Amino acid sequence: MMKNDKYLRARGGTTRMIDVKCAKCGEKILFYQKDGPSGGWLKRCYLNRIFGIEKWEQLQHDRDIKSPADMPSLICDCGNLIGTPMMYKDGRLAFRLVRGSFTRRKSIKHKMMTKKYEIEVRGLLSGSQFKKLDKLFRAEGKFKYNKDRIGVCYPDPESGSLVEECRTDIRIRTTAGVPEIIVKQGEWGKSDESRRELSIIGKRGQFDELVLMLAALGHKKGIVVVRAGNVYDYKGVEFSLVEVPNHSFYFEAEVMVDDESKKPTVLKKINKICTDLGLEILSQSAFFDYINKLNKEANESFDFAKYKEGDFKKRFGI
């Protein structure tokens, strides 16, 4: 959800989302809301206009950051300096960008991820496997972000199923405090899963608003899930190492593609990497058994009739 405030109005009320990438290695640095007329140089990036990557987006919410001296420099993982801390004349903290150190283009994501397909497999982990993989990925992969997550999963609007017959997976979730409405379409749980994924990202503190919004659309019962973990890029595959608190561990390995025809090639790559790591991929029936077990033993039932506005903020601080 783009920010519509006095700063946007001061720039004429026009805005757009852009991707800022490192000119040296091509890595995406920022998902940024640029206010004002199109064209012209991108001289600075205000903290309150950064929507991603997570480690940069979260700076605007850090209460310990009150001046440029409290901020880190904007540096790509390859070591390229992109920007330095500053405070603009209107009092906003920002990064003063180093000309020639970055590239920019209109974001193809732009909040709603359309024509995006998620190729994903999953498997169970022991506690020792979880720690071993976390150590390996930190050493040989690339840490992306922390995946501590709170969510509400709603049943398929047609079948009413949360698991076996769920073909439209509707949920609201917050990852590291950032809320999101996400819809995944297609059959899930198979070892060759491919689902279309649609997502709208909100602002911190809006989780309860999303609960109210979904209830107004008729989604009033579901399952509350709590997860913790880390996300890594390893050999071009995104691996999520997930802990279900006081219960179990599992992994998710996925690649997002814009064309479902790429599925066989991508799936072959994911399977080979999992085999090389000694990871066992769950079959659809085994996956459904695991999810049903979580719903009975670890997850909570959600009933909007018992919900009071602000419950999630009071309980989880989201």
The domain segmentation of the chain, as residue ranges, is 6-106, 117-316
Q: Which fold has domain 117-316?
A: Hypothetical Protein Pfu-838710-001 (2.40.320)
pLDDT at 115: 40
- Average pLDDT per block of 10 residues along the chain, 318 residues long: 78 86 90 82 93 84 89 90 95 95 76 60 96 96 84 95 94 84 86 76 86 96 95 92 97 85 90 96 94 96 96 93
| The Cα angle at residue 48 between residues 8 and 308, in degrees rounded to 5 | 95
pLDDT tens-digit series, residues 35-89: 887 767 899 999 999 988 878 988 888 888 999 999 999 999 888 999 999 999 9
Q: Provide the pLDDT for residue 191.
A: 66
Give the model's pLDDT for residue 78. 87
pTM of structure: 0.65
Decide: helix, strand or coil at residue 292. Answer: helix
The DSSP letter of residue 115 is S
Complete DSSP assignment for 41-82: ---EEEGGGEEESHHHHGGGG-TT--SGGGSPPEE-TTS-EE
What pLDDT does residue 113 have? Answer: 41
pLDDT in tens, 106-123: 875 544 443 467 789 999
